[in-house]
Amino acid sequence: MNSSSFGACNGKDHFSRRFFLRSTALTGLGWLTPLSQQLARGAEKSGGRPKSIIVLWMQGGASQLETFDPHPDSAISHGAKAIKTALPGVQFGEGLEQTAELANDFSVLRSVVSKEGDHARATYNGKTGYRPFPGLVHPAIGSIITHELPAPTHNGAPVDIPTHISITPGQFPARGGYLGAKYDAFQVYDPVNPVPDVKAWTDEARTGRRMESLSVLEKSFAAGRIATLEKERTLHQSSIERARNMMTSDLLAAFNVKEAPKAEQESFGDTRFGRGCLAAIRLVESGVRCVEVTLNGWDTHINNHEGQLKQKSELDPALASLIKGLKERDLYDDTLILVATEFGRTPKLNVTEGRDHWPHGFSVLMGGGGLRTGQVIGETDPTGISQDPAEKVRVEDIHATILNRMGIDHEYEFMTSIGRPIALSDGRPISALL
């Protein structure tokens, strides 16, 4: 194990020959060096691949009809209004004005389908690209990326804060699954509050005494036990060391959005989600690989239009400011963004004027990271009857596209602990985006 960088996203053990061969083949680099540090830096610079990904997760099921796929002239709109976007002939739902102006900066996928209509299962499907399978937990996309890419650096030094982070995670934070708990997303709540558990309860002198006592205990535990217990199994003391590095890391400041200029803070909206998006930019700027920010509350079985409007009032300023902020910092090509949800909502209104779950054609937005933008992919039936949208995109295809763009072989088969090889993704990359 590499003790010089944060464990959750430790890249050295995965900076394998396979990765090396692949990255050199991709970039045409012929040189060889045994120093992983140099390799890592070489890979960071190479080939214009994105370095990070930001996933905005719309928990509950955002309605495609009120967000990115309105049908204002059809009965299925049930009165919901649409607005123009920067793309001629393309409309978004009312309430997404700021995002609509930036429609050239991303692609809209309007024909996403899945086979899961239950929140827990569909979220799993959306985050991992696989349907739930007993006896095995698949890793979330962010876990795969942190596992596959080398440990990131910031100004030449290893990033000593977690490099896979979930902000306001809700019920289903991204998990490492079969890659191991160390690839789980590190969970933080509203960035207005301090990062949980990084502040010691005692002063330095007392902490020092505690650590001394700890070494007395560790010495007696090690006596007579398997010699490689710490190094190959528990990693207990090395985790403590790395946790202590993190507690004093300068990069922790990235979480503290209150340090950002006031005007910038305000542009994201005074919401947990807005602050989460601002923190996401600052974290990516600090070298973090993957940030997931959750916006909960999209499950509008009652009063759909009103509920979706409220959600959009939080999403719109945050998403638009996120894109602008990344561009201003010249990070947009280095950062892939994905706005996704577990499923869409039914074209029919139910008796309580709500929309129910609809996995048969919903919208996802992808941009940055050098993806092709300014286009709409797929089309749903304006009458809301067909469950078979044109240019269908399966959830797993989105995963394959992201991995492909990040320079990761999505077909690579990982040998899982249950002795079954599983491809990182069994989708097909969407060629229109690459």
Partner 1 sequence: MTSQFSRILIRLGALLVLVIAAIITLTWYLGSEDLAPLPSAEASDSLKESTARLNAAFETSWKALELESAPQALDHTIARRLSLALTGAAPSLEELRRFEKLAEGGDPTQSWLNHLFADQRYTNYVAERFARAFVGVGPGPFIIYRRRRMVNWLSEQLAMNRPYDELVSDLIASEGTWTTNPETNFITVSVIQDGDNKGPDEVKLAARTSRAFLGISLDCVQCHDDKFGDRWKQEDFHELAAFYGQADMTISGVREKSEKNYETAYKGKKDPSVVEPGVPFSEELKPEDGSRRKQLAEWITNGNNRAFARATVNRAWALLFGRPLVDPVDDIPLEGPYPAGFETLTDEFVKSGHDFRYLLRLIAASAPFQRASDSGNPDKPVTVEQEAAWAAFPVTPLRPEQVAGSIIQSASFRALDGDAHIIDKLRRFGETNDFVKRYGDQGENEFQEESGTIPQRLLLMNGKLVGERTGENPVMNSSTRVAHYSSSEKQAVDAAFLALLTRLPTPEESDHFAASLEKKNPKAKARASADLYWALINSTEFSWNR
Of the listed pieces 32-40, 218-226, 275-283, 287-295, which binds partner 1 according to CB under 8 A? 218-226
d(CA 69, CA 206): 59
87 vs 136, which CB is nearer to partner 1?
Answer: 136
Question: 10 Å Cβ neighbour count for 46?
Answer: 15
Q: Is 203 in the site for partner 1 (CB under 8 A)?
A: no
d(CA 323, CA 332): 7
Out of 95, 158, 162, 361, point to the residue binding partner 1 (CB under 8 A): 162
83 vs 247, which CB is nearer to partner 1?
Answer: 247
Site for partner 1 in 399-428 (CB under 8 A): 417-420
**Residue 383 backbone dihedrals phi, psi, to 5 degrees:** -90, -10
d(CA 338, CA 405): 13
Out of 31, 228, 261, 262, point to the residue binding partner 1 (CB under 8 A): 228
226 vs 263, which CB is nearer to partner 1?
Answer: 226
Q: Is 197 in the site for partner 1 (CB under 8 A)?
A: yes
d(CA 349, CA 357): 11
Out of 135, 156, 205, 330, point to the residue binding partner 1 (CB under 8 A): 135
Site for partner 1 in 346-385 (CB under 8 A): 356-357, 359
Do you know the residue count of the chain? 434
d(CA 313, CA 401): 29
Rg (alpha carbons) of the chain, rounded to whole number: 22
Site for partner 1 in 59-78 (CB under 8 A): none
Out of 34, 35, 156, 220, point to the residue binding partner 1 (CB under 8 A): 220
Q: Is 243 in the site for partner 1 (CB under 8 A)?
A: yes
Q: Strands (DSSP E) along 13-127, which ranges?
A: 52-59, 82-84, 91-93, 106-113
Q: Is 148 in the site for partner 1 (CB under 8 A)?
A: no
> CA dihedral in degrees (378, 383, 385, 389; nearest 10)?
-10
d(CA 214, CA 211): 5
User: By the criterion CB under 8 A, which residues form the site for partner 1?
Assistant: 6-8, 117-118, 120, 133-137, 162, 180-182, 184, 186-187, 196-202, 206, 209-210, 213-214, 216-221, 223-230, 233-237, 239-240, 242-243, 246-247, 356-357, 359, 417-420
